[in-house]
């Protein structure tokens, strides 16, 4: 797993010459409804073991949560289950709001 900063993720998403990653948001539904990174997919942390087979283990995937701790745990779990090309968003959606999208609602 690689740690990725909000700025680097923003650059990646803006790069039309590079395939965009899967944005896997592992927060709870109420958190996701409050704020999210455009294009992300909600998969609450507790559903990952049952839903892992829905994901492509070779696709570049950025795991996202509120501050980066839950997403780190999910990325470790996925790595242990054969996934490669995983990224953890450092600081989570909170850091994204601070550094990339300051008008994003916060909680």
65 classed as catalytic? yes
- According to DSSP, the residues that pair with 61 across neighbouring strands are 22, 86
φ, ψ of residue 92 in degrees (nearest 5)? 60, -160
pLDDT of residue 38: 96
pLDDT tens track, the chain, 107 positions: 999 999 999 999 999 999 999 999 999 999 999 999 999 999 999 999 999 999 999 999 999 999 999 999 999 999 999 999 999 999 999 999 999 999 999 99
Instruction: Choose among 70, 40, 43, 39: nearest CA to 54.
Output: 43
Active-site residue, from 26, 37, 48, 65: 65
Q: Please give the Cα distance from 24 to 13 (Å, whole number).
A: 14
List domains and CATH numbers for the chain. Answer: 2-99 (3.40.250.10)
How would you class 58 by CB atoms within 10 Å of its CB: exposed for 0-12, middle for 13-18, buried for 19 or more? exposed
């Amino acid at each position: 797993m690689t740690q990725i900063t909000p700025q680097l993720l923003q650059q990646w998403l803006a790069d039309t010459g590079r395939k965009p990653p899967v944005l896997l948001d592992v927060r709870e539904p109420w958190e996701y409804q409050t704020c999210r990174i455009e294009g992300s997919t909600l998969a609450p942390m507790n559903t990952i073991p049952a839903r892992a087979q829905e994901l492509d283990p070779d696709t570049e995937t950025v795991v996202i949560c509120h501050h980066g701790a839950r997403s780190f745990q999910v990325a470790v779990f996925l790595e242990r289950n054969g996934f490669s090309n995983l990224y953890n968003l450092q600081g989570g959606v909170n850091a994204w709001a601070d550094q990339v999208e300051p008008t994003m609602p916060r909680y």
